[in-house]
Structure 1
Amino acid sequence: MLRTALAAALLVCAGYAGASWLTHDFQVWTAEGARRLEVALQPVPVPEVSIEGPGLPAQPLVPWLSGAGRVTVVDFVYTRCETVCLSLGGVFQQMQRRLQQEPMVPGAAVRLLSISFDGSYDTPERLAAYARQLGADPALWQFARVPDASEAAALLRRLQVVVVPDGRGDYEHNAALLVLDAQGRLVRVFDISEQELALNYARHLAKSGRT
């Protein structure tokens, strides 16, 4: 009886220790939650990749992000998507409206950037048409692709954006709002339902000049 009780106690302790390690001392319970916590604790530098898009001639991404007080909220989409990307587009439309209603603060700017991970299909011309459909204001919300496939894959890996081809021309992918600072670092990850939190954080970061 005592032996059974001791064995049960050891199993409970082992399970507790394992759960604590897997969940960062019970602060998160999912891989996505762990990703968000890790980014908040240690910002992730964006790799050296080049982007291009409507109104964006080919150029390195990190310098485009740079500038005192500049903060960029990024999502990853593809124009043929009829599910998650439409939801992300709706979220960015709402964020754009909020930004349009705010007075400009000298030296502080929050921008929106949608990056296509389907670069072979999403040419700048297709991205321009997609932007028009969503009513994107290029002064606030721009669209781009990473034309080099190896660079695109490196960017997705670094930012832990999961993209899985379904074999029929579409993709399964996670959806999140990524906040990047002027140093080209991913500093926060927000759920698609947390648009207000994401925008408030981006505004605070821009105004505080901590970028």
Structure 2
Amino acid sequence: MGQAGRKQPVSEGTQLQHESAMKKHWFPVLAGIILLAIVGVFGYKYMTEEKIEVLKPIADFTLDNSAGTTYTFNESAGKVRLVEFMFTKCPDICPATTYNMAKLQDQLKEKGLFGDKVEFISISFDPDNDTPEVLQEYAAKFKADQSGWKFLRGDAQAVEKVTKDFGLMVMKQPDGSYAHTARMFLVDGDGNMRRAYGMAADMDMEIMMKEMEQLAD
């Protein structure tokens, strides 16, 4: 066979140049694919997360906590807050709600959010019965971690001001019990009410957990 028909050997230098050119060609392509994947993940998250609208700003308030010291709402600014209104003698809705909150507390702890990014607040509107000692017993009953869960009380006038700001109706009954709107509230780190949830059996735990995480992100 003549020289014209022979396959010329590729020099090592030529091969390295070829490989280098291939790398230069594929690197931007690979980088583009990775970038698109990242954008796709965050874009999907943005598209699938429902926007949580601001309902109204909540005014700052000061009440007493179960330790007997004062608590100001703005102390927890920057944190997502789940706010429950209750009274410890409530026979049904309040304890069922607090029980569910204790479950949410445990889930938030597993994710490292409880206390640091999400705080629970339970406010009693029964100042005659719900003394600091009674609130401490109630908290212990539900294994509430009070480093991130505040149990508050105040005189009737102070608590009424807070319930009205949240849009909650509370009426004392002749037998000493209370009729009240069965709602609890999600407040963001800027002090804006973002959700009004049902209580007890009407709590959608999965949605509440998702929305607390979303606002804490």
CA 1:47–1:156 in structure 2 vs 1: closer, same or farther (change >3 Å)? same
2:76 aligned with 1:65: yes
2:179 aligned with 1:172: yes
CA 1:42–1:142 in structure 2 vs 1: closer, same or farther (change >3 Å)? closer
Superposed CA RMSD in Å reads 2.2
Structure 2 residue ranges without an equivalent (≥5): 1-51
**Alpha-carbon distance in 1 for matches of 2:72, 2:150:** 15
Structure 1 position 187, deviation (Å): 1.5
Structure 1 position 42, deviation (Å): 4.4
2:140 to 132, 141, 147: 132
Deviations 1:61-99 (Å, cap 9, x if unpaired)? Answer: 2x12313xx101111110111111111112111111211
2:210 aligned with 1:196: no
Q: Hey, what does 2:19 align to over in structure 1?
A: none
Structure 1 position 151, deviation (Å): 2.4
Deviations 1:21-63 (Å, cap 9, x if unpaired)? Answer: xxxxxxxxxxxxxxxxxxx6543222342122124721322x1
Structure 1 position 178, deviation (Å): 0.6
Report the residue type matching 1:78 in the other structure.
F
> Aligned residue pairs: how many?
163
Query: Are the equivalent residues in 2 in contact too, given 1:177–1:195 (CA < 8 A)?
Result: no
After the TM superposition, which residues 156-167 of structure 1 pair with which residues of structure 2 at under 5 Å, given as runs?
156-167=163-174
2:188 to 173, 178, 181: 181
**Alpha-carbon distance in 2 for matches of 1:155, 1:185:** 14
Structure 1 position 104, deviation (Å): 4.7
Q: Hey, what does 1:45 align to over in structure 2?
A: 57
**Alpha-carbon distance in 2 for matches of 1:183, 1:56:** 26
Structure 1 position 125, deviation (Å): 1.4
**Alpha-carbon distance in 2 for matches of 1:191, 1:138:** 23
User: Per chain length, whose mean CA-contact separation is higher, i.e. which structure has more relative contact order (CA < 8 Å, sep 6+)?
Assistant: 1
2:129 to 121, 134, 140: 121
Structure 1 position 136, deviation (Å): 0.6
Deviations 1:3-26 (Å, cap 9, x if unpaired)? Answer: xxxxxxxxxxxxxxxxxxxxxxxx
TM-score normalised over the length of structure 2: 0.68
Structure 1 position 202, deviation (Å): 1.3
Report the residue type matching 2:71 in the other structure.
Q
Structure 1 position 108, deviation (Å): 5.9
Query: Are the equivalent residues in 2 in contact too, given 1:112–1:141 (CA < 8 A)?
Result: yes
Deviations 1:122-166 (Å, cap 9, x if unpaired)? Answer: 121111111011111112322111x13222112111211121212
TM-score normalised over the length of structure 1: 0.70
Query: Are the equivalent residues in 2 in contact too, given 1:72–1:113 (CA < 8 A)?
Result: yes
Query: Are the equivalent residues in 2 in contact too, given 1:45–1:185 (CA < 8 A)?
Result: yes
**Alpha-carbon distance in 2 for matches of 1:115, 1:97:** 20
**Alpha-carbon distance in 2 for matches of 1:89, 1:75:** 8
Structure 1 residue ranges without an equivalent (≥5): 1-39
